[in-house]
């Protein structure tokens, strides 16, 4: 039997790598460069009394919402609509979101700002927007039926209030939340403090979510209650997720929100320890902060962590639930681990040419086999990496820490390891010297 790792062709591998690069680069550029007029206080003739300069957040694979100042009020326009969204190369689905994207544009403002949101409903059903975690007058809270009439299709409603806090917050639909949330109607709402408390060099905004997309389906299934098969950061599954690019020594903040339906996510960072500085947008007093490298982000919550990016390299940043770092897969498959499949495969091939038992030695090889996937579906794992296939998917991205001047979020490519710093095959001499034998 031909070893599985020989099943994929180098041509297919190269094509995959090219697709990966072209699919993620434009989004990175967008993430790195929010609209010029958005944050330049000097461009505003009458900045609100409380406006202050701040370092804008970077929303990987996303953008920052544009606004304009009208008589001292920051005016935003959100359009609820349907559009086609690429979750990762090879998987496009019709989503609902804001301004043609999911998550919707990241809203950024400053504590004390007066903000006005026009929300235009271009969906086929009513909607409303809830400003999750933001202190607003009751009638601005966006809970359809309870605090406002729902926004009918074709109409535009207005929300207006003054921001009385700072921190990492979110916004999402509060009408038919099950459907509208499952289709992507959510975004991040970052309120900067009036006075920068602890400025950071890179401030990343990440929104976690989960989806049920059956292979070949054109739309996510909003009725799914438990068995989600796509897990995303800013509505992208690896390898569609843009890396987080930082300079060695940068102070980095990760703001992580979770508006998935059911699952909490322990987000784990490799190579560094961080300090948890904020929960649900509320700053944690310094004496109460804790350090670690995994932070649990429950449904409906946000956490912010900070760390110094002291270690150069390509460091994984991912949910540590192993089924959340996979792409589409069914959980109903029989357990074939350890079975002797060779004789069985030979018999089966008489009936089904090309038949091969999968999963008998583990699942890691399956991703790189380049087997044909059903139309509009993605393999359950990964993408080509610098050494071999990366058998991760879903809620997985890469923190790229580099020396030198890192001005943008342009992907610097794979890390070049100093000689002697990569795990590699042990030599016979080393084994004899240290173990006294060569393990067989
Ligand atoms: Cu998870």
Distance (Å) from CA 381 to ligand 1 centroid: 15
Distance (Å) from CA 307 to ligand 1 centroid: 21
Distance (Å) from CA 301 to ligand 1 centroid: 13
Distance (Å) from CA 297 to ligand 1 centroid: 9
| Stretch (H or E) spanning 117 | strand 114-121
- In whole angstroms, give the CA distance from residue 325 to residue 265: 11
Distance (Å) from CA 209 to ligand 1 centroid: 9
Distance (Å) from CA 403 to ligand 1 centroid: 31
Measured CA to CA in angstroms, residue 124 lies from 200, 293, 329 at distances of 42, 43, 31
Which of 318, 294, 325 shows the shortest CA–CA distance to 399? Answer: 318
What confidence score (pLDDT) does residue 349 get? 77
- The answer to whether residue 363 is domain-embedded is no
Distance (Å) from CA 208 to ligand 1 centroid: 8
- The answer to whether residue 372 is domain-embedded is no
E strands, 193-273, are 202-211, 230-233, 244-247, 251-258, 265-269
380 contact partners, CB below 8 Å, separation of at least 6: 326, 327, 328, 329, 363, 366, 367, 393
- In whole angstroms, give the CA distance from residue 161 to residue 131: 11
Distance (Å) from CA 356 to ligand 1 centroid: 31
Distance (Å) from CA 437 to ligand 1 centroid: 42
Distance (Å) from CA 81 to ligand 1 centroid: 27
* Six-digit token string for 298: 């429950």
- In whole angstroms, give the CA distance from residue 162 to residue 184: 27
- In whole angstroms, give the CA distance from residue 404 to residue 99: 36
* Six-digit token string for 74: 């920051």
Pairing mode, strands 114-121 and 156-162: antiparallel
- The answer to whether residue 391 is domain-embedded is no
Sheet of strand 294-297: strand arrangement = 244-247, 396-402, 313-319, 265-269, 294-297
The CATH number that applies at residue 278 is 2.60.40.420
The full DSSP string for 155-196 is: -EEEEEEE----EEEEEEE-SSHHHHHHTT-EEEEEEE-SS-
Pairing mode, strands 313-319 and 294-297: unpaired
- The answer to whether residue 105 is domain-embedded is yes
Distance (Å) from CA 430 to ligand 1 centroid: 40
What confidence score (pLDDT) does residue 363 get? 62
- The answer to whether residue 328 is domain-embedded is no
What confidence score (pLDDT) does residue 374 get? 72
- In whole angstroms, give the CA distance from residue 213 to residue 203: 31
Distance (Å) from CA 424 to ligand 1 centroid: 30
Distance (Å) from CA 298 to ligand 1 centroid: 10
- In whole angstroms, give the CA distance from residue 189 to residue 192: 10
Reduced 3-state DSSP string for 344-412: HHHHHHHHCCCCCCCCCCCCHHHHHHCCCCCCCCCCCCCEECCCCEECCCECEEEEEEECCCCCCCCCC
Measured CA to CA in angstroms, residue 281 lies from 42, 337, 351, 424 at distances of 28, 44, 60, 43
Looking at the structure of the chain, the number of domains it has is 1
- In whole angstroms, give the CA distance from residue 54 to residue 368: 44
- In whole angstroms, give the CA distance from residue 342 to residue 218: 37
Distance (Å) from CA 324 to ligand 1 centroid: 5
Distance (Å) from CA 235 to ligand 1 centroid: 14
Q: C-alpha 314: how far from its chain's center?
A: 17
148 contact partners, CB below 8 Å, separation of at least 6: 128, 139, 141, 142, 157
- The answer to whether residue 68 is domain-embedded is yes
215 contact partners, CB below 8 Å, separation of at least 6: 328, 373, 374, 375, 376, 377
One pLDDT digit (tens) per residue for the chain, 440 residues: 333 333 233 333 333 333 333 323 223 333 333 333 333 333 333 344 445 678 899 999 999 999 999 999 999 999 999 999 999 998 999 999 999 999 999 999 999 999 999 999 999 999 999 999 999 999 999 999 999 999 999 999 999 999 999 999 999 999 999 999 999 999 999 999 998 667 899 999 999 999 999 888 999 999 998 889 999 999 999 999 999 999 999 999 999 999 999 999 999 999 999 999 999 999 999 999 999 999 999 999 999 999 999 999 999 999 999 889 888 766 566 676 777 777 777 887 787 776 666 667 766 665 555 556 678 877 666 889 999 989 889 999 999 999 988 888 999 999 999 999 999 999 999 999 999 999 98
Distance (Å) from CA 318 to ligand 1 centroid: 8
Alpha helices in 234-371 (DSSP H): 342-351
- The answer to whether residue 66 is domain-embedded is yes
Distance (Å) from CA 183 to ligand 1 centroid: 18
Distance (Å) from CA 5 to ligand 1 centroid: 28
Distance (Å) from CA 218 to ligand 1 centroid: 24
Distance (Å) from CA 326 to ligand 1 centroid: 10
Distance (Å) from CA 216 to ligand 1 centroid: 24
Segments forming the whole domain that contains residue 32: 6-319
What confidence score (pLDDT) does residue 341 get? 75
Distance (Å) from CA 221 to ligand 1 centroid: 19
- The answer to whether residue 341 is domain-embedded is no
Q: Phi and psi at residue 401, in whole multiples of 5°? A: -100, 120
Instruction: Flag whether the pTM goes above 0.85.
Output: no
Distance (Å) from CA 247 to ligand 1 centroid: 27
Judge residue 230's burial from the number of C-beta atoms within 10 Å of its C-beta, 0-12 exposed, 13-18 middle, 19 or more buried. Answer: buried
Which of 197, 120, 123 shows the shortest CA–CA distance to 159? Answer: 120
Distance (Å) from CA 76 to ligand 1 centroid: 32
Distance (Å) from CA 241 to ligand 1 centroid: 15
Distance (Å) from CA 134 to ligand 1 centroid: 25
Distance (Å) from CA 395 to ligand 1 centroid: 7
Distance (Å) from CA 319 to ligand 1 centroid: 5
Distance (Å) from CA 397 to ligand 1 centroid: 13
324 contact partners, CB below 8 Å, separation of at least 6: 210, 231, 263, 265, 318, 394, 395
What confidence score (pLDDT) does residue 91 get? 92
């Amino acid at each position: 039997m031909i070893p599985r790792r020989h099943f994929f062709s180098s041509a297919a591998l190269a094509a995959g790598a090219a697709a990966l690069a072209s699919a993620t680069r434009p989004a990175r550029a967008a993430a790195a460069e929010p609209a010029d007029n958005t944050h330049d206080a000097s461009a505003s003739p009458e900045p609100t009394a409380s406006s202050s300069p701040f370092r804008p957040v970077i929303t990987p694979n996303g953008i920052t919402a544009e606004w304009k100042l009208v008589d001292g009020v920051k005016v935003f326009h959100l359009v609820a609509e349907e559009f086609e969204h690429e979750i990762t190369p090879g998987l496009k689905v019709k989503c609902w979101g804001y301004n043609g994207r999911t998550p919707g544009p990241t809203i950024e403002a400053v504590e004390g700002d007066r903000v006005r949101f026009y929300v235009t409903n271009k969906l086929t059903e009513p909607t409303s927007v809830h400003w999750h975690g933001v202190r607003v007058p009751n009638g601005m809270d966006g809970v359809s039926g309870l605090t406002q009439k729902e926004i009918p299709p074709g109409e535009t409603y207005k929300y207006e209030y003054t921001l009385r806090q700072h921190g990492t917050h979110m916004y999402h639909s509060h009408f038919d939340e099950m459907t509208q949330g499952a289709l992507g109607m959510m975004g991040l709402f970052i309120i900067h403090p009036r006075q920068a408390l602890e400025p950071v060099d890179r401030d990343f905004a990440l929104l976690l979510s989960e989806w049920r997309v059956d292979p070949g389906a054109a739309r996510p299934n909003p009725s799914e209650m438990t068995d989600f098969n796509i897990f995303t950061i800013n509505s992208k599954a690896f390898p569609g997720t843009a890396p987080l690019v930082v300079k060695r020594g940068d102070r980095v903040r990760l703001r992580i929100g979770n508006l998935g339906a059911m699952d909490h996510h322990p987000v784990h960072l490799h190579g560094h320890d961080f300090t948890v500085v904020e929960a649900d947008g509320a700053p944690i007093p310094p004496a109460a902060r804790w350090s670690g490298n995994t932070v649990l982000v429950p449904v409906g919550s946000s956490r912010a962590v900070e760390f110094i990016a002291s270690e150069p390299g390509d460091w994984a940043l991912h949910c540590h639930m192993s089924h959340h770092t996979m792409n589409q897969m069914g959980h109903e498959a029989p357990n074939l681990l350890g079975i002797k499949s060779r004789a069985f495969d030979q018999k089966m091939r008489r009936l089904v040419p090309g038949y091969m038992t999968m999963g008998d030695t583990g699942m890691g090889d399956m991703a790189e086999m380049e087997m044909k996937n059903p139309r509009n579906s993605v393999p359950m794992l990964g993408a080509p990496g610098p050494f071999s296939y990366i058998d991760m998917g879903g809620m997985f991205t890469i923190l790229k820490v580099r020396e030198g001047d890192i001005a943008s979020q342009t992907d610097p490519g794979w890390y070049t390891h100093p000689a002697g710093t990569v795990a590699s095959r042990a030599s016979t001499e080393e084994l004899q010297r240290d173990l006294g034998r060569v393990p067989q």
